[in-house]
Amino acid sequence: MNVLVACEYSATVRDAFASRGHNAWSVDLLPCDKGGKHFRGDALDVIKMPQWDLMIAHPPCTYLANSGARWLWEDKSKGLKNLERWENLDKAAEFFRILMNADIPKICIENPIMLGYGIERIGRKYDQLVQPYQFGHKETKATCFWLKGLAPLQPTTDYKEETLALPANIRCRLSYLPPSPDRWKLRSKTYNGIAQAMAEQWG
């Protein structure tokens, strides 16, 4: 199967599919951390290639995630918008929508819980919400999937009780990372257990 993993520089999902014999490629504006089959450039150019059977995409979430809602307003009580932030929200939603509507038979678009304004712009709510503790990691990080031609991903573990019993700085490890130039990269990387489940179930 020809698999495209869009907006991925880490090769986590790409290599999970490649290890199972698929012709898997990643594409990102950044170089790939591991080399291998990687297009460095615009994902919107690569999705036009006719051979893809499956695409898993991780579009940037900075302006779409619910966690950034407060930055949309200079003063919400007075209705004063941060106009630059709203413009970036529109651009991010348009990019997301193009990926979601790509002419590829099977698609999964991944993002955190999205702003209501983002959902309005892309046209629909997510199809599935997963947690790392469902896939072998005793951590929490709500991740949403918008699916086309794919069944929901089936959990491989049930570590919910054990995970929720852990201290917050352990179960929410990524939220407690100290400031650093690579913090955003560490927070955006797909959990290996989720990548492996994608490859096993969707490959």
pLDDT at 92: 97
Give the pTM.
0.91
pLDDT at 176: 57
Residue with tokens 């698609």: 107
Q: Is 141 inside any structural domain?
A: yes
**Number of domains present in the structure of the chain:** 1
Q: Is 24 inside any structural domain?
A: yes
Beta strands in 54-166 (DSSP E): 54-57, 73-75, 80-81, 106-111, 128-130, 143-148
Cα 172 to the center of its chain, rounded Å: 17
Q: Is 89 inside any structural domain?
A: no
Query: What is the residue range of 8's domain?
Result: 2-61+98-202
Q: Is 81 inside any structural domain?
A: no
- CA 19 to each of CA 14, 15, 16, 91: distance values in angstroms, whole numbers, following the listed order: 9, 6, 5, 35
116-131 CB burial, b ≥16 within 10 A, e <16: ebbbebbeeebeeebb
Q: Is 11 inside any structural domain?
A: yes
Residue spans of the chain under pLDDT 50: none
Q: Is 191 inside any structural domain?
A: yes
pLDDT at 183: 55
Residue with tokens 């698929």: 22
Beta bridge partners, 65, equal 114
Domain with 175 in it: what CATH number? Answer: 3.40.50.150
pLDDT at 180: 63
Q: Is 186 inside any structural domain?
A: yes
Q: Is 156 inside any structural domain?
A: yes
DSSP 137: -
User: 128-130 and 143-148 as β-strands: parallel, antiparallel, unpaired?
Assistant: antiparallel
Give residue-wise pLDDT tens across range 75-124.
888 888 889 999 999 999 999 999 999 999 999 999 999 999 999 999 99
pLDDT at 52: 98
